[in-house]
Chain A
Amino acid sequence: MICVKNLSHSIGKTSVLQDISLEIPKGKVTALVGPNGAGKSTLLSLIGRLMPLQTGRISIDGSDIAQTPTRELARRMAILSQTNSLGSRLRVRELVGFGRWPHHQGRPTHEDEQLVMQALDALDLTALGNRFLEELSGGQRQRAFIAMALAQGADWLLLDEPLAALDMAFARRIMAQLVALREAGRSIVVVVHDINHAAAWADHVIALKEGRIAAEGPPETVCTSQVLGDIFDMELRVTQIEGKPLVLHHL
Chain B
Amino acid sequence: MRPTLTLLGLLVPLSVASLLIGAAGIGFASFGSDPHMALIMSVSRLPRTLAVILTGAALAIAGVVMQQMVRNRFVEPGTTGTAESAALGLLAVTIVAPASPIWVKMVVASLAAMAGTALFLRLIRRLPAREVLLVPVVGLILSGVLGAIVTFVGWQTDLLQLISIWLMTGEFSGVIAGRYELLWFAAGAAALAWFAADRFSILGLGRETTTSLGLNPDAVMRLGLVVVSVVTALVIVTVGMIPFVGLVVPNIVARRLGDNLRATLPVTAAGGATLVLACDIVGRLVRFPYEVPVGTILGVIGSGLFLWLLYREPAHG
Query: What distance in Å separates the Cβ of A80 from its nearest Cβ neighbour in chain B?
Result: 8
Query: What distance in Å separates the Cβ of A160 from its nearest Cβ neighbour in chain B?
Result: 10
Chain A residues within 8 Å of chain B by Cβ, number: 34
**Of B71, B206, B213, B216, the contact of A101 (CB 8 Å cutoff):** B213
Q: Tell whether, in the assembled complex, residue B208 and residue A91 are in contact, meaning their CB atoms are under 8 Å apart.
A: no
- Asked if A106 meets B198 with Cβ closer than 8 Å, knowing A50-B211, A70-B216, A134-B316, the reply is yes
* Distance of A250 Cα from B19 Cα, bound (Å): 76
Q: In chain A between 79 and 100, which residues have their CB closer than 8 angstroms to a CB of chain B?
A: 79-81, 83-91, 94-95, 98-99
Q: Which residues of B contact A80 (CB under 8 A)?
A: 212
Q: Tell whether, in the assembled complex, residue B213 and residue A74 are in contact, meaning their CB atoms are under 8 Å apart.
A: yes
In the assembled complex, A71 has its CB within 8 A of some CB on chain B? yes
In the assembled complex, A78 has its CB within 8 A of some CB on chain B? yes
CB-CB nearest in chain A for B197: A106
Q: Which residues of B contact A94 (CB under 8 A)?
A: 201, 258, 260
* Distance of A72 Cα from B202 Cα, bound (Å): 17
Interface size class of B (residues with CB under 8 A): 20 to 34
Query: What distance in Å separates the Cβ of B56 from its nearest Cβ neighbour in chain A?
Result: 22
CB-CB nearest in chain B for A134: B316
Q: Tell whether, in the assembled complex, residue B204 and residue A99 are in contact, meaning their CB atoms are under 8 Å apart.
A: no
CB-CB nearest in chain A for B202: A98
In the assembled complex, A181 has its CB within 8 A of some CB on chain B? no
CB-CB nearest in chain A for B204: A88
In the assembled complex, A49 has its CB within 8 A of some CB on chain B? yes
Q: Which residues of A contact B212 (CB under 8 A)?
A: 48, 50, 74, 78-81, 149
CB-CB nearest in chain B for A101: B213
* Distance of A75 Cα from B212 Cα, bound (Å): 9
Q: Tell whether, in the assembled complex, residue B213 and residue A89 are in contact, meaning their CB atoms are under 8 Å apart.
A: no
In the assembled complex, B317 has its CB within 8 A of some CB on chain A? yes
In the assembled complex, B205 has its CB within 8 A of some CB on chain A? yes
CB-CB nearest in chain A for B70: A87
Main secondary structure of the interface of B (DSSP, over half): loop
In the assembled complex, B254 has its CB within 8 A of some CB on chain A? yes
Q: Which residues of A contact B204 (CB under 8 A)?
A: 87-88
In the assembled complex, B18 has its CB within 8 A of some CB on chain A? no
In the assembled complex, B129 has its CB within 8 A of some CB on chain A? yes
Q: In chain A between 111 and 162, which residues have their CB closer than 8 angstroms to a CB of chain B?
A: 132, 134, 149, 152
Give a binary string over B182-225; 1 marks a CB under 8 Å from any A CB, 0 the rest: 00000000000000001001101111110111111000000000
Query: What distance in Å separates the Cβ of A135 from its nearest Cβ neighbour in chain B?
Result: 10
- Asked if A132 meets B258 with Cβ closer than 8 Å, knowing A79-B212, A88-B205, the reply is yes
Q: Which residues of B contact A81 (CB under 8 A)?
A: 208-209, 212
**Of B206, B213, B260, B262, the contact of A87 (CB 8 Å cutoff):** B206
Q: Tell whether, in the assembled complex, residue A87 and residue B317 are in contact, meaning their CB atoms are under 8 Å apart.
A: yes
In the assembled complex, B72 has its CB within 8 A of some CB on chain A? yes
* Distance of A49 Cα from B202 Cα, bound (Å): 17
**Most A C-beta atoms less than 10 A away, residue of B68, B198, B204, B213:** B213
- Asked if A74 meets B259 with Cβ closer than 8 Å, knowing A81-B208, A87-B72, A88-B201, the reply is no
* Distance of A201 Cα from B62 Cα, bound (Å): 49
CB-CB nearest in chain A for B263: A94
Q: Which residues of B contact A25 (CB under 8 A)?
A: none
**What 3 A-B pairs come out closest when comparing CB atoms?**
A74-B214, A71-B214, A87-B71
Extra contacts besides A87-B317, A98-B209, A101-B198 (16): CB < 8 Å: A50-B207, A73-B214, A79-B212, A80-B212, A81-B208, A84-B205, A85-B129, A85-B206, A89-B254, A90-B201, A90-B205, A98-B198, A98-B201, A102-B214, A132-B258, A152-B213
Which residues of B approach A to under 8 Å, CB–CB?
Answer: 68, 71-72, 129, 198, 201-202, 204-209, 211-216, 254-255, 258-260, 262, 316-317
Which residues of A approach B to under 8 Å, CB–CB?
Answer: 45, 48-50, 70-75, 78-81, 83-91, 94-95, 98-99, 101-102, 106, 132, 134, 149, 152
Could you pull out 16 A-B pairs where Cβ atoms are within 8 angstroms?
A: A48-B212, A50-B208, A50-B212, A70-B216, A71-B214, A87-B71, A87-B72, A88-B68, A88-B205, A89-B255, A89-B258, A89-B316, A90-B259, A94-B260, A95-B205, A102-B213
